[in-house]
Amino acid sequence: MAAGSIEHEGPDMGVGDFVLLSDINMDAFMKNLKLRFEKGRIYTYIGEVLVSVNPYRDLPIYGPEYIKSYKGREMFERPAHIFALAEAAYRTLKQRSLNSCIVISGESGSGKTEASKIILRYIAAVTNVSNQAEIQRISNILIQTNVILETFGNSRTNRNDNSSRFGKYMDLNFDYKFDPIGGKIQHYLLEKSRVIKQQLGERNFHSFYQLLFGENNLKEYGLNLKAEDYYYINQGNCCKIPKIDDRNDYQQVKQAFKVVGFTQDEISTIWKIVAAIVHLGNLQFTDVDGEHCSITRSNDNNDQLKWISKLLSCEESDISSTLTSRVVAARNEVIQARQNMTRANYGRDALSKALYERLFEWLIKHINKTLAKENNEQLTHGYRTVQSSLVIGVLDIYGFEIFENNSFEQLCINYCNEKLQQLFIELVLKQEQEEYERENITWQHIDYFNNKIICDLIEQSRTGIIAHLDEACIAVGNITDEMFLDSINKALKSHKHFSSWKLSPGDKIWKSINNNKHFLIRHYAGDVVYSVDGFLDKNRDTLFDDFKRLLFNSKNPILSSMWPEGEKSITSVTRRPLTAGTIFRNSMISLSNLLSSKQPFYVRCIKPNDEKSPNIFDQTRVEHQIAYLGLLENVRVRRAGFCHRTPYDRFVQRYKIIDSVRSKLYPRGVPTKENAAYICRELNLENDVAYGNTKLFIKQPVSLFELEKKRTAGLQFIVVILQKYTRSWKQYRLYRREISVIKIQNFFKKYRARSYINKLNELFRNVSNTSDFGKSIKWPAPKPGFIPMNNMLKKTYQRWRAYKVIQRIPDDQRAIFELKLLAADYLRQRPTFQETSIRQEWKGDYLLLPEENSHSLEYRKSISELRGKDNFNHVLFSTLSIKLNTHIKTDERAIILTERYLYKLDPKKGFHIRKSGISIDDIISLSVTSGKEQLIVVHLTSNHDLVFYMHTKNDRVGEFVGHVAKLKRRASNFQVDVQRYVSATLDKNKYVINVTWGGVDKIEFRKGSNKNISLMLPNSE
């Protein structure tokens, strides 16, 4: 698209800012919005608020040419675009060092999630190009987190194929160069009830279908049935959606896991948990006697309990016991109560929801660790304090929801939208009007609806709906949902935004509804009828401790770590946990406070129709959204008010450098109201400003832009003046204090250097004829200015002396000498190497020596066969050893090292070749102990390490390490770990090996507890 079409909009495109409409009414607003939608102009301003209409199609307005067009531009220099809003938030960060936040609100399906992704991509594209590689890495992680969170937190609803079923607030952290350095994600109210139940036409979370339709090896998860046969994911009768490519999405999320930094074990555990939940949905119970039940088993490969046990790494008996009985502790007595089928099914569903919720929380914690910034301190520069980490927050949270059946989740979601609307009212409408009144500015007052009364109805302590719900949950006795409804009917009967059949039986809305289980709240977005069915259970969010202990004791350490509370004893006393409603209310209050502390920017998303069509503009649906979003009130306030306000001192201080006023005000102009008025008169802004008590108010954004433009031009003049004076001062100082002494300094430096060199010449004149080549000579102390040259001379002398020393070594011993030097680099922490090993003779192939090996002829024959088989040149090192096998037993083996393979031969069977050799390329690293014992662990890529002990008189650890290090010299990641205790991986299990002396007659390995192995050595060793 041409640049001109980016920069200009003709009258046929409508008005790009609703504030500029001739008439402010719903008809004019709708006419302009519809025209722009039909022309593909989906963005429109209301002052600095951006209205976005979901186009339900891809538009070519997000490419590099658009990013370039909006980068560094003021918000009103270009047509309305989400890039302009993102640039304004980023510029607030850079120019004013203020944290900002972008609040994205609207109905489900209005494009909120897509808007947040576009903002992330823009910020990643416009940050500092000098460090683009690192920025791209951080930005890529930020973008890939969306892929993961959409997979596990989004689902298909009747209104949206990719609806966020959780709220997300992301902080993007920036360093002092305003480059992104990380971030943090907070989530709110995952709709976990969707895990076990979906309405007709809706799906469970995307993750379940991506696994079933994307994974090629489903047998690994025991998923042998069709997707339609699994109860937890088939209730909506729409497992497969034409517009959703689950197979491709599965590949994308697997790649995203790798980018964000998940290990293969962690990825495997994630999908095992998802598969286990699918199996739980098909787990059935058989009634025993009306009070007890048992799990229904099958003899084929579709036995659900067997696969749940395998996927969760828990014993079948433990899972069965936990699902069909409950352990209760009373007065230090532990009682096991059997469950009937109703309670067992409830427990199974609770376990499924908790598993998925805990997995989601763990995913976000893992992502936050990857995104965590390292430094949040403040740096002080002169008289300024600059915060080293600034923040742009992006809030993408569920929109207002009205379904045929509205339950506890919809109450929480709609309460969240009430809080956001209240925040919008306070920050945009209420504060605006209050400030005009406080500053004594004459303007037209605009009436607006303040929805604080609705927020209080839900959240107020003691009297709100959540408070009554909590009371019902903790009350003693069999309290039902209907009893809770009766309690709020009595408490809220006089509230004008609350109603029910009992309070208003004549209302038409109750004719087709079960009257005893519903109540109505008159939200700012419209009336919503809620069913109290399940309110108490969902608010309690009960998960028995039996399940927590079961999952904590899983053999999968990753799954176990998700359930730390399961470690508590059965008899331990725990505090009553907060209810789900209270937790959500507290999080919403905290979110409001967080957003209030930042400079807000708003994206108000609108859904043009319910058919997801790019060609339909539903007048009634859109009018309803405009009304409850308060957009007309926002236009009226902006139209009657001012786009910018600033204190007089800041205004004068900022704009006194403009050319036409500089002569009077710069540099010592007093920042008063009179001088502010003088600037406005000189720039012909008198008709577009108002003077408050402490602030100057500017009506039109164009005037503010003109001020900034003239200030930028004036700033160039000031910079030139400062540069001129600075250069003059610098030259004056150089002339007066430096130029006159330069020659003297140069001559003195040359004299001092020459004297020092002459002194060195005298000291080192005949060192080539001495035994130590001058090592014992003490160097004279150099003067401070000559220290770098002196260090260079010392390095040159040391290299010359090393060369002379090496020349003395016979040619046949030089290779061994270099090998010892190489080993010494790796074994600095092993004292015995420095004391003995490095000084003894290294012979390499010890098993060829009769004094070392009485069966040397058999050994020679075996090596000859190996050489013909594996085509290696010669044996570098060989010795007898005691090897640790996979059963934690000892075997006698000969260790043979060649330039291509490492062999283990059986000396008792004529050095028989038991297995093929280990390729040198498969060796990752070595581990040796820091003591005198000759224990070596060879770490391999197969995760099955070679552990052996060399039973020899002389220490040969250094010789073996030297040969292996020389072979692995080209491998940059090779290392030798020297520790008191070494670790090894045997049969994919990690063990710690410690050394114990005495108490045995021969060398042996013993298996201890907690993955420990002891190497037992006799004192004679």
Asked if 805 and 821 touch (Cβ cutoff 8 Å), the reply is no
Which burial class, exposed, middle or buried, applies to 148 when counting CB atoms under 10 A from its CB (0-12, 13-18, 19+)? buried
**Residue 968 annotated as part of some ligand binding site:** no
Kindly state the tokens that stand for 614: 């790019």
Q: Which residue in the list 92, 127, 154, 164 is annotated as catalytic? A: 164
**Residue 113 annotated as part of some ligand binding site:** yes
Rounded distance, CA 321 to CA 310, Å? Answer: 16
Q: Which residue in the list 44, 99, 108, 145 is annotated as catalytic? A: 108
Q: Which residue in the list 54, 99, 100, 113 is annotated as catalytic? A: 113
Q: Which amino acid is at 180?
A: P
Mark whether 572 is an active-site residue.
no
Mark whether 660 is an active-site residue.
no
Asked if 46 and 18 touch (Cβ cutoff 8 Å), the reply is yes
**Residue 97 annotated as part of some ligand binding site:** no
**Residue 714 annotated as part of some ligand binding site:** no
Rounded distance, CA 552 to CA 567, Å? Answer: 7
**Residue 63 annotated as part of some ligand binding site:** no
What is the DSSP annotation of 398-420? Answer: ------SSB-HHHHHHHHHHHHH
Rounded distance, CA 597 to CA 730, Å? Answer: 45
Mark whether 109 is an active-site residue.
yes
CA quadruple 527, 532, 536, 540: dihedral, nearest 10 = -40
Mark whether 609 is an active-site residue.
no
**Residue 215 annotated as part of some ligand binding site:** no
CA 268, chain centre distance (Å): 19
Rounded distance, CA 110 to CA 108, Å? Answer: 6
Q: Which residue in the list 114, 191, 401, 459 is annotated as catalytic? A: 401
Kindly state the tokens that stand for 131: 């460090």
**Cis, bond preceding 505 (omega within 30 deg of 0):** no
* 75 contact partners, CB below 8 Å, separation of at least 6: 45, 48, 84, 85, 87, 88, 701
Mark whether 97 is an active-site residue.
no
Asked if 413 and 401 touch (Cβ cutoff 8 Å), the reply is yes
Mark whether 952 is an active-site residue.
no
Q: How far is CA 127 from CA 101, 123, 180, 265, 370, in A?
A: 17, 6, 8, 35, 20
CA 340, chain centre distance (Å): 43
Which burial class, exposed, middle or buried, applies to 911 when counting CB atoms under 10 A from its CB (0-12, 13-18, 19+)? buried
Q: Token match 């899983």: residue?
A: 554
Q: Report angle CA 722, 725, 726 to the nearest 5 degrees.
A: 80
CA quadruple 331, 336, 340, 344: dihedral, nearest 10 = 100
Asked if 485 and 516 touch (Cβ cutoff 8 Å), the reply is yes
Q: Which residues are 330's β-sheet partners?
A: 333
Kindly state the tokens that stand for 128: 């500092």
* 726 contact partners, CB below 8 Å, separation of at least 6: none
3-state helix vs strand vs coil in the chain, percent to 5: 50, 20, 35
Mark whether 113 is an active-site residue.
yes
**Residue 111 annotated as part of some ligand binding site:** yes
Q: Which residue in the list 116, 160, 324, 451 is annotated as catalytic? A: 160
Q: Which residue in the list 16, 47, 109, 917 is annotated as catalytic? A: 109
Asked if 217 and 275 touch (Cβ cutoff 8 Å), the reply is no
The crossing angle, in degrees rounded to 10, of helices 452-459 and 408-424 is 140
Rounded distance, CA 961 to CA 928, Å? Answer: 9
Instruction: Count CA within 13 A, CB hemisphere, residue 735.
Output: 6
Mark whether 878 is an active-site residue.
no
Q: Which of 149, 157, 611, 634 is nearest to 396 (CA)?
A: 149
Q: Token match 């009830």: residue?
A: 193
* 404 contact partners, CB below 8 Å, separation of at least 6: 199
**Residue 10 annotated as part of some ligand binding site:** no
Kindly state the tokens that stand for 1017: 């050595």
Rounded distance, CA 394 to CA 954, Å? Answer: 66
Direct distance between the N- and C-terminal alpha carbons of the chain, in angstroms, rounded to an integer: 82
> Catalytic residues, which ones?
108-109, 113, 160, 163-164, 399, 401
Annotated binding site for ATP: 106-113
